């Protein structure tokens, strides 16, 4: 019998259509916006021209189009760090070099309301995926130029249009949505953590390891210390926040020529 060899996942599947996201080299731009929900990828497409629906496999939907002359890719990550890490790895293999997450996130400080914008300066790694990649002390941080530009553009938009507030700070990335009990939420808030979501630590760590630029701007979906649950009726405010976060991310991509 021929000798069998152990598969090196890091070395296989390069230069071909990717197994999970279903995208091949030549079908994307150098920058990708990453909503979690595949049904929010068309929200990005509303800002684009010459839109193409590239692929939709599992939780990963990809569309491309042009914004102010720049080719933009939008790919959904699904919920959580495992699928986010896969999306980032496979997008890097087909030519993406910069990624901006545009998602939803719960506020952890008083006064943040649904629809406000939350710019990430780094993530507390309370997930299992990044532990498989790096030392427990390895930081999960965005590219400094991307984070700074996201904040600048968002604050400029808030000053011009009004109706929402921009916050920036450290967020937490959790794995278990319904395990976030009052004690954990109070602990995070007491440490000054701005918000909590489920994807950014994987985005930042994988991006650093692969030589990519990454950032995140989220719309506030709820406030876990002000008693505002995701089950409350705030769909209009959240949709407005999503659209603003997308526009900020797009303008950032153009300004930095990502």
DSSP string for 37-95 = SGGGHHHHHTT-EEEEEEEEETTEEEEEEEETTEEEEEE---SSHHHHHHHHHHHHHTT
Contact 36, 78 (CB under 8 A): yes
pLDDT in tens, 56-71: 999 999 999 999 999 9
User: pLDDT averaged over the chain?
Assistant: 96
Q: How far is CA 252 from the centre of its chain?
A: 14
Helices (H) and strands (E) in the chain, counts: 6, 9
Pairing assessment for the beta strands 117-126 and 166-174 based on DSSP bridges: parallel
Is residue 1 predicted with pLDDT exceeding 70?
A: no
The whole-angstrom separation of Cα 142 and Cα 119 is 10
Is residue 197 predicted with pLDDT exceeding 70?
A: yes
In this prediction, residue 186 carries a pLDDT of 98
Q: Confirm whether pTM is higher than 0.75.
A: yes
Residue 169 falls in which region: left (phi positive, over 0), alpha (psi -120 to 50) or beta:
left
Mean pLDDT of 68-87: 98
- Name 153's Cβ contacts closer than 8 Å, sequence gap at least 6: 248, 251, 252, 255
Hey, what domains does the chain have and what are their CATH numbers? Answer: 31-252 (3.40.50.1580)
pLDDT in tens, 94-138: 999 999 999 999 999 999 999 999 999 999 999 999 999 999 999
């Amino acid at each position: 019998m021929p000798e069998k060899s152990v598969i090196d996942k890091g070395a296989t599947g390069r230069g071909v259509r990717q197994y999970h996201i279903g995208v091949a080299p030549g079908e994307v731009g150098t920058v990708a916006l990453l909503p979690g929900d595949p049904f929010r990828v068309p929200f990005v497409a509303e800002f684009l021209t010459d839109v193409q629906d590239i692929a939709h496999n599992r939780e990963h939907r990809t569309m491309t189009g042009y914004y102010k002359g720049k080719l933009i890719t939008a790919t959904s990550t699904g919920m959580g760090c495992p699928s986010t890490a896969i999306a980032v790895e496979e997008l890097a293999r087909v030519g993406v070099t910069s990624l901006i997450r545009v998602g939803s996130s719960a506020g952890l400080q008083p006064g943040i309301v649904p629809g406000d914008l939350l710019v990430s300066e780094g993530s507390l790694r309370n997930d299992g995926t990044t532990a498989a990649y790096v030392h427990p002390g390895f930081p999960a941080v965005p590219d400094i130029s991307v984070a700074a530009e996201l904040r600048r553009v968002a604050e400029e938009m808030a000053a011009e249009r009004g109706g929402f507030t921009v916050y920036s700070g450290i967020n937490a990335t959790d794995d278990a949505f319904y395990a976030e009990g009052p004690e954990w939420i109070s602990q995070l808030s007491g440490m000054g953590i701005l918000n909590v979501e489920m994807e950014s630590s994987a985005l930042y760590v994988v991006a650093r390891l692969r030589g990519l630029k990454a950032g995140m701007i989220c719309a506030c979906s709820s406030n876990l210390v002000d008693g505002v649950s995701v089950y409350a009726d705030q769909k209009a405010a959240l949709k407005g926040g999503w659209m603003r976060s997308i526009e900020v991310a797009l303008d950032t991509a153009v300004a930095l020529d990502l």
